[in-house]
Structure 1
Amino acid sequence: MPPNLFVFFLFLTIPCLLGSTAGAIGVIWGTMSSHPLPPSKVVELLKSNNVSKVKLFDADPLVLQALSGSNLVVTVGIPNSMLKTFNSSRKAAESWVHDNVTRYFSHGGAGVRIEYVAVGDEPFLQSYGEQFHPFVIGAAMNIQAALTKANLASEVKVVVPCSFDTFVSESSLPSKGHFRTDLNKTMIQLLTFLSKHHSPFFVTISPFISFQQNKNISLDFTLFKENVRPHNDSHRTYKNSFDLSYDTLVTALSKIGFPEMGIVVARIGWPTDGAPNATSSIAETFMKGLVDHLHSKTGTPLRPRNPPIETFIFSFLDEDQRSITSGNFERHWGVFTFDGQAKYHFNFGLGSKNLVNAQFVEYLPSKWCVMNNNKDMSNATASALEACSISDCTALSPGGSCSNIGWPGNISYAFNSYYQQHDQRADSCDFGGLGLITTVDPSVDNCRFFIELQTSHSTSVHEAYLFLWIILLMAYFFSCLLGFMQ
C-alpha cells in the first residue's frame, strides 16, 4: 500500500480504533429539594466522581454559575409550563436563549459547555393528557430559531425528552412496538424536526416501572442477571428488560420512517426507597448491570454494536419535593442521598472503584423530634398524618426503609420529618404537646431519622439569585446617581 494511501486509511479508521462517544454516561441533577446541597458542593461532588455530563430540568442561574468553568457537558431544560409561551412567541424564545444559553455558553473559555436544550420535561406523559401536545413542536422550532439567531445552532442541539409510555407493545414483544396512537402525528412532526437538525431522540426507559406493571418480566431479567429465562421474539433473543424496551422503541421509530434515528436514553435509574423492590442493594445490582452493559457496547438485537449515544442516570441526588403522583419511590431515585452520601457501592465506569461522598457538609444541630410517650397519645396518628401531608414520609411506605418500625416509631418519624423541614424550629415539634426534642438519634436499623442541611428553603438558590440582582440594581442606581451629581 502506498504511504499516502496508508495515512488516508489510518485517518479514516482512527475514530473506530479510539471508539466513539456512543455509550457515554451522564447524570441528572434535579433540584426539587427543600434543603438542597449548595450548587458549588454538587459540582464538586460530580467532578470527584468523574461524571462528565449533566442534565438539568431547568436553567437555574446559580446552578449554571456553579457549572461555569467546570468543563462538565450540560443539558439545560425548559419546564412544561413554558411551552405554551414559547410556542406562541419567538421573541420569548429568543429572550430565554439569551438569558439561559448565550449568557453562559462556553466558547472554549470559562463558561458552561451546553450541549442540548431539552424542550419540556416528558410533555407526552400519558397522565398529562394532551395539555402540552399542541405546544411542543412550535416551542422546539422557536427555540431552534433563537439558537440560530444567536449563532449557536451548530453547537447546541434542541431535543424533546419523551416519557417511557410514549411507545408501547401490547404483546411485550419489540417487533410489535409502536408509538401511542394519539401521538403518531406529533411524533412524525417531532422526528422530522430532529432529523432535519441532526438532533437525537431523547427518551426515558424505566425498567423499574416496567417490572411493576408487567407480570411477564422477572426481577432477575430486569437486573441483567445471567442465566435468566430469555424472551424470544422471532429469531431474536432478549436477555434483559433494557434491550427489550430499547428495541421496542427502535421498532416504533422504524414504523413511522426513522429507522436510523440516534437515541439518547435521557432518564434511567432504580429507586432505593418508598416501594417494594426499591432498595439500595437491588439498585446497586441494576446500576452495575446497566453500566457494564453500556460499556460493553454490544448494543441490542436490533442495533448490534450500536448502544445509545448517551445515557443519563436518574438521579444524582434524592429530591424530597418531587411529586409522588406516580409513587412514593419518586423521591428516592438518587445514587446519592440528599446530603451527598453514596447509597451503595458503584461507579460510573470511569476508573474510580467506588463513589466518593460529599465533603464538609453543613447540617442543622444534632437534634430530633420524637413522640413524647408520657402524653395522651389518642390524637398522635392524626398529628402524624398532618405532618406527613407537608413533609416527606415516603420511607414509611409499604416496602420502604422505615415500614417496619411500627407504632409509635412511625409517629416519631413523621414528627421528625416535619421538624427538620421547618429548620428545627421549637414550635415545629409541638403537635399539641405530643412532640419532644431529643439529642439521642432515634434511627433504627436501616430506618434513618435524618437531620436537614443548613441550606434552608428560605435561602434557596432562587431567592439567593433574587438577592444578588437587588444588590446589582442598587449598585447600578448609585453609579447613575454619582454620575448625575458629577
Structure 2
Amino acid sequence: MICGQGLVKEVKGLACNWGTQSTHPLQPNIVVQLLKDNGFNKVKLFEADPGALKALGNSGIQVMVGIPNDLLAPLASSVQAAINWVQQNVSDYVSKHGVDIRYVAVGNEPFLKTYKDTFLQTTFPALQNIQAALIKAGLAKQVKVTVPLNADVYQTDSGLPSGGNFRPDIHDLMMSIIKFLSDSYSPLTINIYPFLSLNADPNFPKEYAYFNGSAAPVVDGSITYTNVFEANFDTLISALEKNGFPSLSVIVGEVGWPTDGDPSANAENAQRFNQGLINRISQGQGTPKRKTPPDVYLFSLIDEDNKSTQPGNFERHWGVFNYDGSIKYQLV
C-alpha cells in the first residue's frame, strides 16, 4: 500500500509533522520508511510516542519531540518532573536507541485565544525547567528547547508586515520567552496556515494564499508581498525587530493544506500550495526580511481520522498521504 516512488526526493532540509491520532495507525517502522523514501530528513512529533521514537533510532532523521499542553502544569511546578521527563523521553532514546533528537517543543500553540489563558502561567516555567533538565542531562548543546506558537501571537495594526508586534495581552510574556530562547541559542517556532486565513475570511483574496497566485500584491514600503505566507512570516520578523531580537532563529513548525472537509480543501489546491512551498525550500528561498530560509515542517505526513473536527471537518485531512500510506497527489 506504500507508494514506491519518492514524493519529493530531491529536497534537502524538508521537514514534516508526524501526527499519531489515528484509529488504525501505520506501523512506526513503515512511517519512518515513508519519511526516508520521500525526502524528509527532519520530523516533528506532538508527543514522545515510544513506538515512533524507537523506529526513528539510527534513521538519519532529526527529531523534534513535543510535550502536550496537559503536561505543562506538572512540568512548570517541579524541576524534578522535568528532569524525569527528559530522562525518559530524551536521554534514554538518544543513548539507548540512537535517536537524533534536536529539539524539545514545550507545549503546542499554548497561547491560542480559544484556550482562554489556560496555559499562560505554566508555559514559560515549563520551558525553563525543561531547559534546566537538558543542562543537567548534558544535552543542552545538541537539544534545544522551543515553543510552537500559533501565528495569532502577533498582529499588525496597519495591515502590513512592517506594523507587526506581539499581542498586547501577552506582550510581556512573549518578551520573557523570546529573551530566554535567545539566551539559550534556541529558536522560536511559529505555525502559519494560509488555508485558515482563507477559511476564516470570506473576503480573503484566494490567490494570495498561494505562492504562484495572481492576487494584487501588497506593497509595504520598498517591499512587495505576493503571498500571505511571506507577509505573515515577515510580520513576525517585524515584531522581533521592534522588540530588540532581529536575529532570533525562527522555525515554521506547521504549514500545509487539507484535501477534504471544506470547499477550498481538495487535492488540487493542496498540491498547488505544497508544491509551491517545496519549490521555495528546494531553491533556498527566504522572505523579504529573512533571505535565509527557515526550517519548514510540512503539516502533515498522514491523515489522522481521530482528530477533533471542532475547528472544521478538514482537520482530519491534512496529510500528503492517506491513512494507509498511499499518496494523495504527486509532488516533485
Tell me what 1:253 maps to: 240
Q: Distance in 1 between matches of 2:313 and 2:213?
A: 30
- Give unmatched runs, 5+ long, in structure 1: 1-22, 348-486
Q: Distance in 2 between matches of 1:185 and 1:155?
A: 29
Q: 1:254 to 1:215 in 2, by over 3 A?
A: farther
Once the two structures are TM-superposed, the CA of residue 37 in structure 1 deviates from its matched residue by 0.7
Counting matched residue pairs gives 322
Q: Distance in 1 between matches of 2:293 and 2:202?
A: 27
C-alpha contact (below 8 Å) 1:317/1:335 kept by paired residues: yes
Q: Does 1:307 align with 2:293?
A: yes
SS at match of 2:246: coil
Alignment equivalent of 2:331, drawn from 346, 352, 373:
346
Alignment equivalent of 2:80, drawn from 57, 69, 91:
91
Tell me what 1:390 maps to: none
Alignment equivalent of 2:208, drawn from 221, 224, 239:
221
Q: Distance in 2 between matches of 1:95 and 1:76?
A: 15
Q: 1:215 to 1:231 in 2, by over 3 A?
A: farther
- Give unmatched runs, 5+ long, in structure 2: 1-11
C-alpha contact (below 8 Å) 2:213/2:227 kept by paired residues: no
1:76-120, CA deviations, whole angstroms, 9 ceiling, x for partnerless residues? 1100000000101000100010001000115xx951000000000
C-alpha contact (below 8 Å) 2:14/2:39 kept by paired residues: no
Larger radius of gyration: 1
TM-score, normalised to structure 1, is 0.64
C-alpha contact (below 8 Å) 1:217/1:241 kept by paired residues: no
1:222-246, CA deviations, whole angstroms, 9 ceiling, x for partnerless residues? 1112544211112210011111111
1:393-435, CA deviations, whole angstroms, 9 ceiling, x for partnerless residues? xxxxxxxxxxxxxxxxxxxxxxxxxxxxxxxxxxxxxxxxxxx
C-alpha contact (below 8 Å) 2:207/2:214 kept by paired residues: no
The one-letter code sitting in structure 2 at the alignment partner of 1:72 is I
Alignment equivalent of 2:131, drawn from 144, 152, 155:
144
Tell me what 2:45 maps to: 56
Q: Does 1:287 align with 2:274?
A: yes
C-alpha contact (below 8 Å) 1:169/1:178 kept by paired residues: yes
1:174-225, CA deviations, whole angstroms, 9 ceiling, x for partnerless residues? 0111111111011001001100110011000111011223455422221112
Q: Distance in 2 between matches of 1:301 and 1:215?
A: 27
Tell me what 1:168 maps to: 155
Tell me what 2:257 maps to: 270
Q: Distance in 2 between matches of 1:25 and 1:288?
A: 12
Q: 1:217 to 1:234 in 2, by over 3 A?
A: farther
Q: Distance in 2 between matches of 1:122 and 1:28?
A: 14
Q: Does 1:202 align with 2:186?
A: no
Q: Distance in 2 between matches of 1:28 and 1:227?
A: 29
C-alpha contact (below 8 Å) 1:230/1:237 kept by paired residues: yes
SS at match of 1:192: helix
Once the two structures are TM-superposed, the CA of residue 50 in structure 1 deviates from its matched residue by 2.1
The root-mean-square deviation of aligned C-alpha atoms, in Å, is 1.6
The one-letter code sitting in structure 2 at the alignment partner of 1:65 is K
Tell me what 2:176 maps to: 189
Alignment equivalent of 2:318, drawn from 333, 342, 364:
333
TM-score, normalised to structure 2, is 0.93
Alignment equivalent of 2:307, drawn from 288, 298, 322:
322
The one-letter code sitting in structure 1 at the alignment partner of 2:205 is S
SS at match of 2:124: helix
Q: 1:218 to 1:324 in 2, by over 3 A?
A: same
Q: 1:216 to 1:243 in 2, by over 3 A?
A: farther
Equivalent runs, 1:367-382 vs 2, <5 Å: none
Q: Distance in 1 between matches of 2:110 and 2:268?
A: 32
Q: Distance in 2 between matches of 1:197 and 1:214?
A: 38
Q: 1:324 to 1:170 in 2, by over 3 A?
A: farther
Q: Displaced runs of 4+ in structure 1, greater than 4 A?
A: none
Range with bigger deviation, 61-70 or 290-299: 290-299
Q: 1:112 to 1:197 in 2, by over 3 A?
A: same
Q: 1:45 to 1:115 in 2, by over 3 A?
A: same
1:433-473, CA deviations, whole angstroms, 9 ceiling, x for partnerless residues? xxxxxxxxxxxxxxxxxxxxxxxxxxxxxxxxxxxxxxxxx
Tell me what 1:112 maps to: 99
Once the two structures are TM-superposed, the CA of residue 26 in structure 1 deviates from its matched residue by 0.4
Tell me what 1:399 maps to: none
Tell me what 1:359 maps to: none
Query: What is the percentage of aligned positions where both structures have the same residue?
Result: 46
Higher relative contact order, chain-length normalized (CA < 8 Å, sep 6+): 2
Q: Distance in 1 between matches of 2:93 and 2:284?
A: 34
Q: Distance in 2 between matches of 1:226 and 1:160?
A: 31
Alignment equivalent of 1:46, drawn from 12, 35, 58:
35
SS at match of 1:138: helix
C-alpha contact (below 8 Å) 2:54/2:97 kept by paired residues: no
